[in-house]
Structure 1
């Protein structure tokens, strides 16, 4: 699904000059699509709301860098997707740290910890893009079409990133 809102160039120019009414108009125009995108990625209304706020703080800070090439929604969507992916990574690090703290006092089956460490190392060796594709596809359950739209890439890009990542992970296991 491609969103195409007709945003007048004069509104963007006013927003670039710091006009609060113009910035508010952009927020109102893109609030729902940004929230829905974040909700699809994160599956949490609270996290989606946080990403919505973080996205528009970034839009306000960076609107001067928008060059008018392509649709404004594409630029805002990339910011929102990046914020959502950063939240996934942050939450993943937090979960790993919590697991490590819990596991420190627990002796599990022989070989379980080394296998987990190998998997984490394999995941760490992937590029940020490949990690994002693996996470979105294998963990969050997104389709290649959704990943392509989210990342502003093609479906074949998503498929090839996933295949390469799985090949690279398989070399470790």
Structure 2
């Protein structure tokens, strides 16, 4: 006798959010599995240190049940979580809670594809790390995370014009190696 294989559909984001709000640790674990790589990536690009980025991931997911009280599903949950990670990473930069290890020592482990593309990615990440922190943060927020200059200004407490100038300087530095 052959028994049919029944596939159980994965819970939707909305179902998981409702379950986490109701106190389900299993749902929280599922959200962690789905979204921790994106949260880690956003934090790592801001902080440049694996240990600090891991701390941000932990902070985001430990505080998630409470934070979801203010979450309204108007966009993708992952995008919202990345915004939370960026804000948490920026707070870590301003505070004294950074561990700041030698940045990007673990890059080969992070580079998923093998070969020339992985080497290009590692080289780019090292060049990003070589940027002065104010320039790197604006470049990451604008070009990688997709924030507008007005949003960056609000996050960093600078003007939108200062954000644009920092972005210009970051690109100039990446292209020429000139830090000014």
Provide TM-score, normalisation by structure 1.
Answer: 0.56
Residues 58 and 79 in structure 1, CA contact (< 8 A), matched pair in contact too? no
Structure 1 spans left out of the alignment, 5+ residues = 1-5, 93-136, 166-173
Alignment of 1:8-157 (within 5 A): 8-91=13-96, 138-139=132-133, 141-142=135-136, 144=138, 146-148=140-142, 153-155=147-149
Q: Show the counterpart of 2:161.
A: 160
Distance 1:151 1:17, change over 3 A: same
Structure 2 spans left out of the alignment, 5+ residues = 1-10, 98-130, 153-159, 167-180
Distance 1:87 1:143 in 2: 13
After TM superposition, what 4+ stretches of structure 1 lie above 6 angstroms from structure 2? none
Q: Deviations over 1:77-98 (max 9, x none)?
A: 1211111001110149xxxxxx
Distance 1:39 1:7, change over 3 A: farther
Distance 1:39 1:10 in 2: 29
Distance 2:19 2:77 in 1: 14
- In the alignment of these two chains, the number of paired residues is 117
Residues 149 and 164 in structure 2, CA contact (< 8 A), matched pair in contact too? no
Distance 2:144 2:94 in 1: 16
Q: Which stretch of the first structure deviates more once superposed, 57-66 or 25-34?
A: 57-66
Q: Show the counterpart of 2:175.
A: none
Residues 77 and 150 in structure 1, CA contact (< 8 A), matched pair in contact too? no
Distance 1:13 1:146, change over 3 A: same
Distance 2:63 2:143 in 1: 21
- Higher RCO, 1 or 2 (CA under 8 Å, sep at least 6)? 1
Q: Which has the larger helix fraction?
A: 1
Distance 1:164 1:36 in 2: 25
